Every structure is written in C-alpha cells, then in structure tokens.
Amino acid sequence: MANVTEIFGSMVFDESAMKARLPKETFRQLQRTMKDGRSLDINIANVVANAMKDWAIEKGVTHYTHWFQPMTGNTAEKHDSFISPDVDGKVIMEFSGKELVQGEPDASSFPSGGLRATFEARGYTAWDPTSYAFIKDGVLCIPTAFCSYGGHALDKKTPLLRSMEAINRQALRILRLFGHTDVISVKTTVGPEQEYFLIDKKYYEQRKDLIYTGRTLFGAKAPRGQEMEDHYFGTIKTRVKAFMNELNEELWKVGVLAKTEHNEVAPAQHELAPIFTTTNIATDHNQLTMELMQRIAKRHGLVCLLHEKPFEGVNGSGKHNNWSITTDTGVNLLDPGDTPCENAQFLLFLCAVIKAVDEYQDMLRVSAASAGNDHRLGANEAPPAVVSMFVGSELMEILEAIEQDAPYGGKEKELMRIGVHVLPKFPKDTTDRNRTSPFAFTGNKFEFRMVGSSASISGPNIVLNTAVAEELKQFADILENAADFEAELHELIRKTIREHKRISFNGNGYDDAWIEEAERRGLLNLKTTPDALPYYVKEKNLRLFTSHKVFSEEEVRARYEIKMELYVKTLTIEARTMTDMVNKDILPAGSAYAKQLADTALAKKALDPSIDASYETELARKVSGLTRTICQRDQALREALGKAEGMEDFEESAFFFRDEVLPAMEALRSAADELETVTDAKLWPYPSYGQLLFGIL
C-alpha cells in the first residue's frame, strides 16, 4: 500500500494545491468566497480555472465535468475536453472561468416533478467552491449545484446548501446573545457510516433480480444465516481485505477521510465509516464512496450491493447519519461545557434539536422513506418507523431536574437553575448506545439511524438543518427581546423540555409495548413510504421550508411527486422481474423436476412392480402442486399490475402497490421459495442464498 500521507488528497485541487498555484491575492479572495459564501469575480474565476486546468493536465487529465446530484439519487456528469482549435490547425488546452463557474447539461431527462416541461432541455450547473474539485478516472470533477432555466433546484445539493445557510443564520443569532462576537459562521458536520454487502460476481451475474433491482426477489433461507453472530467484527476475508485496501487508497486520493472498516452482523455484510466533515462535503464524499465501492468491487471479482434489504431473513443495510453543529472557532455546540454559560448554551441548542425532532418527526421519517427501506425499518437490525430520541439516563435526569426546578440526582441542595449551575461533568459516552433508537444522542452528536444504505444523505440533513434552524429562530425571537435574559432563558428551556418530552425514549424500540406507548403519546407510526410521503406537503412543512428559503412550494411538491413515482416505478420493476423469472426459469425448473421424479417412479415400477416409488410419487405431486400455485399467484400479480398501469394518479397508484401489488409479490415469493427447498439443486436456475452469502472464500 502507498504512503497514506503522500497520496491523501493527491487527486484533489485542495487548499495546498491552490496555495501553491494561485497568486496570493487570488488565493485570498477565493478563500473568502469559500468561507463567507461571497460571489466570485469572473477575473478571479479565470485565474483559478487556468491553475486548475494546468494542475489536472499534469496528472494526465484531458476532460472536465460538472459533477452534480440530480433527483435520481445518483451522481451525473457530462465530459468536455480542454481542447480548443488553434489558428494553425492544431489545438490548445483551455479552460475559462466561465466554464468553471457554470455549465449547461441537458436537463430534459432528469426527474423534475413538473418543475419544467418535458420538452424544456435547459439546465444549469453552478460551481460549489466550498467543495474541492477532484480527479476521478482521469476526469477533472467539479462539484456543482443544478437548477432549471427558471431557477428551480433540480438537485440535492442546492437545497442542502440553502439549509446550511439557514441554520448558520439562526445559530449566529443565538451565539451573539451569549457574547460570542468572534464566531463568523456555524456549520453542521456529518460522518455517515456506510453499510454494504459484497458477493461473488459469478453468482450475481446469474441472478436477474439482483441485476435489475439490487435485491433478491426469490431465495429460500440458507441452513445458516447470521445466527452464530460470528461474522460481526470477525476476521476479514482475503478477497474482501484486498477490495478494502484498494477502496481506501482511492478514497484517500480524492480526500475522503475513510477511517473505519469491519465486518457487519450479516454474512457478506461490511461497513465503512469516515471522519466527520462539513455536511455538503460529507454528502459529496458519500456519493463518491458508494460509486467507488461498486466500481472497485468489480475489479476484485465482486459486486457491491447497496440495497437496504438485498436478502430476506438477514440484516439489511443502513447509513447512520452522525450529525453535529460546530463554529468556525472550533466549538461543538452539542458538547456540554465547563461553565454555567457554556452549559446554558449547550442546553439551549439541545432543546432546539429536541423540539425540532418532535415537531418535524414526520419529515425525518419522510427523509428516510423508500421502497427499499420499507423492508428494513422496524426489523431487528433497524429502528422502528416511529421517530423518537434517546438522550441517555444521565442527561435525561438533568433535563427532568430542570423541568421540575428540582435538585439534580439529590446531589444539589439548591434548585437546578440555568446560568447558575455547572452541569455534572459527564464523559462523552455517558451511557450505553441504544441501537434501537432512530435518533440517539451519543456524546456530542446525534446519530440518525433510519437512513437507508443507498440513499443520499442530503435529504435527512436538509430536514435536520432546516427544522433546527426554525427552532433556533423561535428561541432567538424570544430571547432578543427578553428583559431578563437569564430568567427568560431558564423558562424557555424548562418549557421546551416539558412540552416536547414525549419524543424522548430510552428503552427498547423493538418492543411492541413501545409502539403502543408511542401511539398513546401521539407519535406517528408511518410504516410505509406511501404512509409517510403525504406529510411532505402538509401546511406546516411547506411553511418550514419556504420561510427559510430552502425550498419553494413548487420545489417541495415536485419532490413529493418524484418520491411517490419512484416508489411505484421501483415496485413495478420488481414485480415485472418476478413474473419474468417465474415464467422463464422457475416454472420450467419445477416442471422438469416433476417430470424427472415421475420418470424415476415409472422406471422403478418397470424394473420391479413391487419396488416402493412413493417417495418420487409424493414429491412429484408436491412439486406439481407448488408449480400450480406459483402459476396462479403469478397470474394474480399480473392482474394487479394491469390494474395499476391504468391509474393516472401517482398517489392512488402508490397505495395500490402497497395494498395489492406488494402482497401479491410476497405470496408469489413464498410459493417459489418453498419450491426451491424441494427441487434438485442441479435443476434450480439460480445460485442459492448459501452461495450468495458464503460464496467469498
């Protein structure tokens, strides 16, 4: 392996590369643009573009692309070369500031949710100078935002940047009240833990369901799954370690702070976790990580599966979104301090998060909603679909003492008063982690565990940033006009704890009793994507996003429509794949085995009529019965699909798929999986779960 300190960031046009290649004044102005979000003068852009081009060409690059994140959930790029014709018939290599700052890819085929007509092709990409350009596969990639001709956001980066500005604006108001005039900006930071599966490429290529949908639509349970729990943190297999080594090198080259790697609970499942960084950069890095995982795996004869539930009966994959708030002076605002003032500030920001999660629990659930994640949420490896918060027993006791104006833990003789008491100095890991909690406080950050493994982390962080910005705004409006700041602050924190304590739960989220308790508390239990998505366009949520200028109402409604359509399209592809597999592979295999059994029984009887052929006869009867059931259930699925195709309303269609198509798919799978358990393995058309999960030696 190469020297990490030498290769890290070697393919990134980062601060060190800029400093070495840009004039001092240009570098200073660019830094100011990146730090303060100011517009970049075109003359400065020209100098930056030329330096960036020279740096890239020295590394063998001939093309550049504006790398953006449309609402498909993937990344997109259109490559342009640096070449320009010269007067002597030759070419020169050019790259202007205009080309750096703005591009114009065709936007006609990207999802827009009605933000533009199908025939309107113009879309613009705009450079995000806060996220460094990098080289990938010999192409200079410039992270950009993507918007329509009419100015609507057509991507996931633009609203994320807007949400970061919203929380920055409101957090600064709060910090000024505590006397922090030295703080210039506040940013949220994220460290997304990425779970994934690796399977042998030769088995993947034999599974239409994995190729078309990313998950197994059929598959009988293997004799062994994750019961032994020996895969978790176990020794990493040689082929997997080789993949991880190359992945780390490639990630480090493009500046991704890949830190932790290990085996997860399910066989063939693994995890990668990076060090925290600014939210928009963390989002870019996570998209890049998923792309590189899938590409590098193939070079090792493997396939990386990012679906939330690729295998029935074993753990699915999530993406734990570790979120915090920090100042440009290096202070984590979710880290308890050593003085009464710092304690009060911490508690106020903590209360803003508590209030935000309670009031916008619906939007947090929406941000994690997808057809794939519906298979995972509420299962034994994932939090339930009910959003709640875990703050730990010690912090919970402190909050209760404040709410009741009571002594904390019987240790204080005086009442617990904000601005008077120094909180007990509890360590970062003040309590055990609660893996069943969707939203857990883990020392100086919150871990949002509902996010699906294939999802962009932009959605959850847009919601978190904007919701917390709204609560900070409300707090600032009150405190800026307070006659007695300390008294008003104390009462505000007490009131917030009292009114929003229903969202706090430190127990077992998997327990059925909690679901009943949550409903008594008035918490939402949005079990499926169609249940959750209508909350996207509730009046209070529209008001949240529009008031902070994160989304326009049209942009919110567009995303609602796109998510609903994606749910329907995903299940349509899955259902069609099932019927294709059943009719071309599974039913022929069952019929062939029934014939083989019948022929064997006849052959036995021909040899000696007294020979007992009941095994073959009874098994042939069972196989024939299962093929008949499969045929009937396939027909039922086809009929349900036919009805769905006639529905023009996407919301009606989504609920129909949930209530009619999905149950038909599950019924068909049940019969086919039973047939697999009794069919000769040599006749079964697909690699088994045992081969898929344990096939990497």
Please, are residues 385 and 310 in contact by the beta-carbon 8 Å criterion? no
Q: Label residue 412 by pLDDT band (50, 70, 90).
A: very low
Q: What is the pLDDT of residues 57-93, one digit of tens each?
A: 999 999 999 999 988 888 988 899 998 887 676 667 8
Six-digit token string for 423 = 């909180």
For 437, other C-beta atoms within 10 Å of its C-beta total 26
Domains and CATH numbers, the chain: 4-155 (3.10.20.70), 164-551 (3.30.590.10), 566-694 (1.20.120.1560)
Six-digit token string for 215 = 């998950």
Q: Label residue 411 by pLDDT band (50, 70, 90).
A: very low
pLDDT value of residue 430 = 47
In this structure, of 183-187, 200-204, 361-365, 511-515, the range with the lowest mean pLDDT score is 511-515
pLDDT value of residue 185 = 93
Please, are residues 101 and 40 in contact by the beta-carbon 8 Å criterion? yes
Q: Label residue 413 by pLDDT band (50, 70, 90).
A: very low
Six-digit token string for 180 = 């922090």
Q: What is the pLDDT of residues 179-235, one digit of tens each?
A: 999 999 999 999 999 999 999 999 999 999 999 999 999 999 999 988 778 888 889
DSSP line for 399-457: HHHHHHT--STTT-SS---TTTPPPP---SS-S---TT-SEEE-SSSEEE---BTTS-T
Q: What is the pLDDT of residues 537-550, one digit of tens each?
A: 999 999 999 999 99
Task: Say yes or no to pLDDT of 19 above 90.
Answer: yes
Six-digit token string for 88 = 């002597």
Six-digit token string for 72 = 């498909």
Rounded distance between C-alpha atoms, residue 153 and residue 145, angstroms: 8
Q: What is the pLDDT of residues 452-462, one digit of tens each?
A: 999 999 999 99
Q: Percent of the chain, pLDDT > 90?
A: 69
Sign of CA pseudo-dihedral 569, 571, 574, 577? negative
Task: Say yes or no to pLDDT of 586 above 70.
Answer: yes
Total count of residues recorded for the chain: 697
In this structure, of 199-213, 245-259, 552-566, 592-606, the range with the lowest mean pLDDT score is 592-606
CB-based burial label for 604 (10 Å; 0-12, 13-18, 19+): middle
Helical packing angle, 340-359 and 458-479, nearest 10°: 120
CB-based burial label for 187 (10 Å; 0-12, 13-18, 19+): buried
- Supply φ then ψ for residue 574, to 5 degrees: -65, -45
pLDDT value of residue 573 = 97
Task: Say yes or no to pLDDT of 253 above 90.
Answer: yes
More confident residue, 523 or 342: 523
pLDDT value of residue 73 = 82
Please, are residues 175 and 186 in contact by the beta-carbon 8 Å criterion? yes
- Return all residues near 122 (Cβ < 8 A) that are at least 6 apart: 104, 107, 148, 149
Q: Can you give the three-state secondary structure of 444-458, one letter per residue?
A: CCEEECCCECCCCCH
Q: What is the mean pLDDT of the chain?
A: 90
